[in-house]
Amino acid sequence: MPKAHVTTTINGDAYEVLCEPGQTLVDVIRNGLGLTGTKEGCSTGDCGACSVMLDGELVCSCLVLAVEADGKSIDTIEGMAEGEDELHPLQRNFLELNGLQCGICTPGILIAARALLERNPDPTETEIRFWLAGNLCRCTGYDKVIRSVQAAAEEMREA
C-alpha cells in the first residue's frame, strides 16, 4: 500500500511525514515524530488522554487519521510551556496543587483545560467539570484537577 505524505505544523514547527493511509494521528505524533507527551489510552475516543488541538479544535487524536492533519496546525503538550524554562500556568498549578497522579491522563487534561480557558477565562466549577468530562482519570477524584484549573484561571486573569 502506498504511503501518504503529510505536511503539518506541530507546536509551531513544520513537519513532513510518510504514513500509512489508515494510521492515526496519535500514532504518528508519538511513534513517527517522537512527541511522546500525547498518550494513547483507550484508542476509542473515550478517555481523552490523546487530546490535542487541531486547527484550534480540541480532538482525540486516536480518532483522527494522520492524513486528515495534512496542511493543518496541531498543538500538543510539548508546546504548552511558555518557553524552555517557564511552565504554562496550568502546568505550574497542576504541580503545585497536586492535580496529577500517574501522568497518563495529565497531558490530555492540560490541553483540554487550556482550550477551555482560551474560550472562557473565568469558568465556574460546573463549567470546568463539564468541559473536562471527556478526560478520564483512574487516580484522582478530580477535585485537585478542578482546583488546579481554577487557580490557573485566576492567575491568568490577573496577569
Domain C-terminal end among 44, 78, 112: 78
Indicate the pLDDT class of residue 112, thresholds 50, 70 and 90.
very high
HEC secondary structure over the chain: CCCEEEEEEECCEEEEEEECCCCEHHHHHHHHCCCCCCCCCCCCCCCCCCEEEECCEEEECCCCEHHHHCCCEEECHHHCCCCCCCCCHHHHHHHHCCCCCCCCCHHHHHHHHHHHHHHCCCCCHHHHHHHHHHCCCCCCCCHHHHHHHHHHHHHHHHC
The pLDDT tens digits of the residues spanning 61-92 come to: 999 999 999 999 999 999 999 887 899 999 99
Rounded CA-CA distance 22/4 in Å is: 9
Q: What is the mean pLDDT of the chain?
A: 96
Indicate the pLDDT class of residue 101, thresholds 50, 70 and 90.
confident
Same domain, 101 and 143: yes
How far is residue 25 from each of residues 9, 18, 47, 55, 101, measured CA to CA in Å? 13, 12, 16, 14, 26
Same domain, 69 and 94: no
Whether residue 83 lies inside any domain: the answer is: no
Residue 141 pLDDT greater than 80, yes or no: no
Same domain, 102 and 130: yes
pLDDT of residue 1: 77
Rounded CA-CA distance 75/52 in Å is: 6
Q: Which CATH number is 138's domain given?
A: 1.10.150.120
Same domain, 105 and 71: no
Contact 73/9 with Cβ under 8 angstroms? Answer: yes
pLDDT of residue 27: 98
> What is the span of the domain harbouring residue 40?
4-78
Measured over the CA atoms of residue 55, residue 76, residue 49 and residue 134, the dihedral's sign is: negative
The pLDDT tens digits of the residues spanning 6-42 come to: 999 999 999 999 999 999 999 999 999 999 999 999 9
